[in-house]
Amino acid sequence: MRLALLFAAVVGAAFPLPVRGIDPGSAQGTMTSDGVAVGLHHALALFYGNEEGLLDGPEIRLLLSDRDVAPAALSGPILDRLEQLARKGDVRGLVLRLDPQQPVTAPIGGTVLLSPADPERSLTFLELEGGSGIEDWRLTDTRASGRLAFSIAGDTPADTVTVQAAFSAPRFRDEVTARLIGPEAADSAPAQALVRWNEALHRGDIETLKALSSDDKYAELLAFRAEVGDEALRKVVAAEPSGAELKRQIKEVLVRGDRAFIIMVDDDDARNFAATTRIGERWVID
């Protein structure tokens, strides 16, 4: 009960506004990729501290988009929510990942948020050399501003990206609102949901998997099953750890708003994770 109350209390507290009355984010410019020109009107910056230890280090994530996007879409070690929005056509633009210590001089990675014509194709990733692409950069505790000016020529039109835009973005921080370690992590509600999901996967219990999955996760599972067939799926599942073994591997659970990221370490010290989302009083696998 204590853990349930803890999770209920922290949901929604992960993205404090920088300062009351601060101007909303704005951008003025365009991004062109795959022959499509996208007007960039909104800007958002979020500091991610890499508390999960899955990336090379902390990041400043800078989003320029055609419409307003909630800070939660930039939260956590992966940007799956943002990429899902892009694939569905619910946002267009780009997100850049900057080194907080060397935001302009270090190489900058990014993703073009434009739904590909082929749904099997990945989103376009880009990398800017240090010292190029961002001009007039300014970062404070509450705001990031500057200008993007770059063009990357790819092997295909989809890999070619040109951006010209000025931006002024409120800066949020991706707060860890709860951190559970050891047995407390393994016994937590998100971890228990993951273990039940894993056990249902081993049983081939599709109805339970549906109940314990987000809509996107369930669709992904069905698509994989249709692609490889039941026999190949059973072989893949057989190689996965059992529910008891999976629970033993769970070392930490980090909660960020309505999401929890479960950190697992196997016998070879390989670090892995699973993402879950809180819907009402239950947790589902993303």
| CATH 3.10.450 residue spans of the chain | 178-285
CB 274 within 8 A of CB 256: no
Question: What are the phi and psi torsion angles at 87 (to 5°)?
Answer: -65, -30
Question: What H or E segment, with its residue span, contains residue 166?
Answer: strand 161-173
Dihedral (C-alpha) 78, 81, 83, 88: value to the nearest 10 degrees? 170
**What's the pLDDT at 12?**
41
Alpha-carbon torsion (64, 78, 278, 13), positive or negative: negative
Report domain 178-285's class.
alpha beta
Other beta carbons less than 10 A from residue 147's beta carbon:
17
- pLDDT per residue of the chain (286 residues) written in tens, 0 to 9: 333 333 433 444 466 655 444 578 999 999 999 889 999 999 999 999 999 999 999 999 999 999 999 999 999 999 999 999 999 999 999 999 999 999 999 999 999 999 988 888 899 999 999 888 999 999 999 999 999 999 998 778 777 899 999 999 999 999 999 999 999 999 999 999 999 999 999 999 999 999 999 999 999 999 999 999 989 988 989 988 989 999 999 999 999 999 999 999 999 999 999 999 999 999 999 9
Nearest by Cα to 65 from 44, 87, 37: 44
How far is Cα 258 from Cα 272, in angstroms, rounded to an integer? 20
Alpha-carbon torsion (280, 283, 284, 286), positive or negative: positive
**What's the pLDDT at 18?**
54
